[in-house]
């Protein structure tokens, strides 16, 4: 394997990030730097990410973050082999900022540019952190995505399931909002749920029992709203019970949906030696109850359950640099400088 060192740039949502990752000739990979600036404070007053604010914040921060990533890695631009920048999916303003910056650096420094799909970054992270080999299943659960993806190889992805309405993180955020909990809602709902009774409300578990592997969470949110309206004004205990019941409904849903995915994987790839693996990524993967559910499901089905460290589960530039590295290592041609960002890629 060739020695490769890549500078990664991520600006698709509300995190501005830059990182340097390398892999040596023996195949050992190393994160040389990982710089992330969260814009959370700038958006929280609005209860969600405001695209225009995000784009401007990326413009203000990105140059310095890249300098910092190079400095912490103790390398200069001359020492990197390529630039990798997220070019979709995501908020178009932020994507433009990151991709244009990546193009400019690539042009000025005479380096190849890899325009990376953000989801590919999430999908390949477990190969950096756990040396996982293909194929494996990945569940991405964030504020913007809920997808079950078969990862066959670099550039070879099959989407087995997706949400037909809200993303899972979005369901947490909206539920939190209607219960008067702060943004982002996931951590707040999880905290409240600890003191709640998960059996007080019997919330719906959409699509449970269906053969296809999709998800749906908007009905759940509606059921929470109705329950909250019926018993208003809500005491703290009411809120805790709703949160606990909400999480239980999600746990049950994941158990059914992902359980089917694991069965399908086993049918398509009969076990030959190494245990099959399920990787989880995205901010919702921070939720301990959902993690416990997935761990138990994997144990039961003979799967390894892999959850990369939280800073690499949520948005970061290490995964973008790594995806660029993996593509370069396969000998794939870099992107040309007329490559365009794709909001809905």
Name the binding residues for substrate. 140-144, 173, 186, 190, 287
- Which of 254, 284, 318, 328 forms a contact with ligand KG4 (CB under 6 A)? 284
Shortest distance (Å) from residue 334 CB to ligand KG4:
26
C-beta closer to Zn ion: residue 141 or 240: 141
Residues found near Zn ion in the complex (CB under 5 A): 142, 315
Is 166 near ligand KG4 (CB under 6 A)?
no
C-beta closer to ligand KG4: residue 293 or 314: 314
Is 142 near ligand KG4 (CB under 6 A)?
yes
Contact window for ligand KG4 (CB under 6 A) among 22-30, 95-103, 252-260, 280-288: 280-288
- Which of 8, 94, 102, 184 forms a contact with ligand KG4 (CB under 6 A)? 184
Tokens of 165: 């309405």
- Which of 75, 109, 178, 286 forms a contact with ligand KG4 (CB under 6 A)? 286
Q: Which does 172 bind (CB under 5 to 8 A by kind): Zn ion, ligand KG4, none?
A: ligand KG4
C-beta closer to ligand KG4: residue 33 or 39: 39
C-beta closer to ligand KG4: residue 5 or 142: 142
Is 13 near ligand KG4 (CB under 6 A)?
yes
Contact window for ligand KG4 (CB under 6 A) among 70-78, 138-146, 209-217, 324-332: 138-146
- Which of 276, 282, 308, 324 forms a contact with ligand KG4 (CB under 6 A)? 282
* Contacting residues toward ligand KG4, per CB under 6 A: 13, 142-144, 169, 172-173, 184-187, 190, 282-284, 286-287, 314-315
């Amino acid at each position: 394997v060739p020695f490769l060192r890549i500078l990664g740039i991520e600006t698709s949502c509300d995190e501005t990030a830059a990182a340097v990752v390398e892999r040596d000739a023996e195949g050992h990979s190393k994160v040389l730097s990982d710089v992330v600036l969260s814009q959370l404070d700038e958006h929280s007053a609005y209860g969600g990410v405001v695209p225009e604010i995000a784009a401007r914040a990326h413009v203000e921060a990105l140059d310095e973050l890249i300098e910092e990533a190079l400095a912490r890695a103790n390398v200069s631009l001359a020492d990197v082999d390529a630039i990798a920048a997220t070019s979709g999916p995501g908020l178009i303003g932020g994507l433009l900022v990151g991709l244009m910056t990546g193009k400019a650096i690539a042009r000025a420094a005479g380096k190849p540019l890899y325009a990376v799909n953000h989801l590919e970054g999430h999908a390949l992270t477990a190969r950096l952190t756990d040396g996982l080999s293909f194929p494996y299943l990945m569940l991405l659960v964030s504020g913007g995505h809920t997808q079950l993806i078969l990862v066959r190889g670099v550039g070879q992805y099959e989407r087995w399931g997706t949400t037909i309405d809200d993303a899972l993180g979005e369901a947490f955020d909206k539920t939190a909002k209607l219960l008067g909990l702060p943004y982002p809602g996931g951590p707040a709902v999880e905290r409240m749920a600890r003191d709640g009774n998960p059996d007080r409300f019997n919330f719906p578990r959409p699509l449970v029992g269906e053969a296809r592997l999709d998800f749906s969470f908007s009905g759940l949110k509606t059921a929470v709203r109705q329950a909250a309206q019926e018993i208003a004004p809500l005491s703290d205990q009411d809120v805790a019970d709703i949160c606990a019941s909400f999480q239980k409904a999600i746990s049950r849903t994941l158990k059914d949906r992902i359980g089917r995915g694991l069965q399908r994987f086993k049918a398509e790839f009969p076990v030959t030696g190494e245990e099959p693996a399920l990787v989880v990524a995205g901010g919702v993967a921070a939720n301990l109850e959902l993690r416990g559910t997935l761990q138990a499901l994997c144990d039961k089905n003979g799967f390894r359950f892999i959850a990369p460290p939280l800073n690499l589960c949520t948005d970061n530039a290490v995964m973008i640099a790594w995806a660029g590295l993996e593509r370069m290592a396969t000998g794939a041609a870099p992107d040309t400088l007329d490559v365009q960002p794709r909001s809905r890629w």
